[in-house]
Amino acid sequence: MDSESIIISGEAVIHPEDIAETFIRSSGPGGQNVNKVATAVQLRFDASRARGLSERVRERAISLAGQRATKEGVIIIEAGRFRTQEQNRADARARLTALIAKAAEPPPKPRKKTRPSKSSVEKRLKAKAGRSTVKKMRGRVESD
């Protein structure tokens, strides 16, 4: 592994050869600079072919990416928040790292269906009935 590799966990490492960056013109404020300088970055990470990801992390990363992932499994992140290429590059890499780190987390445990016990259901219904009688007793007092 070279020094550029981003190590996230034992089953998730981002190698620089899996990342392709292109600089594009940024939208938004910035005056004439916006029309002349390509400061936004479009980062492409080929998750389907990345050798540093386990199969579980690969599948989860593509599903977490949602619309940012292509049918071929390439995750595209566009960063144009800042006015310099370096800041946008760092932002795009940080967002990719966060996405892969989230995908590397252990999956949530499936929820087990539970049922209230028969006695707790009876207790709840008895309490409701008692409350109902208390409220009925609050009605108007009829005078003779």
**Domain locations in the chain?**
6-104
User: What pLDDT is attached to residue 122?
Assistant: 97
d(CA 63, CA 76) in angstroms, rounded, equals 13
User: What pLDDT is attached to residue 28?
Assistant: 63
How long a stretch of residues is the chain?
144
Q: CB neighbours of 132 closer than 8 A, spacing ≥ 6?
A: none
* 30-56 pLDDT, tens digit each: 666 666 778 888 899 888 888 878 888
User: What pLDDT is attached to residue 142?
Assistant: 73
Specify the 3-state DSSP secondary structure of 21. Answer: strand
User: What pLDDT is attached to residue 119?
Assistant: 97
* Topology of the domain comprising 6-104: Double Stranded RNA Binding Domain (3.30.160)
Task: Give the up-direction half-sphere exposure of residue 42: CA atoms within 13 A in the CB hemisphere.
Answer: 11
Residues of the chain with pLDDT under 50: 1-3
User: What pLDDT is attached to residue 36?
Assistant: 74
pTM for this predicted structure: 0.66
Cα–Cα distance list, 56 to 29, 89, 105 (Å): 40, 27, 10
User: What pLDDT is attached to residue 123?
Assistant: 97
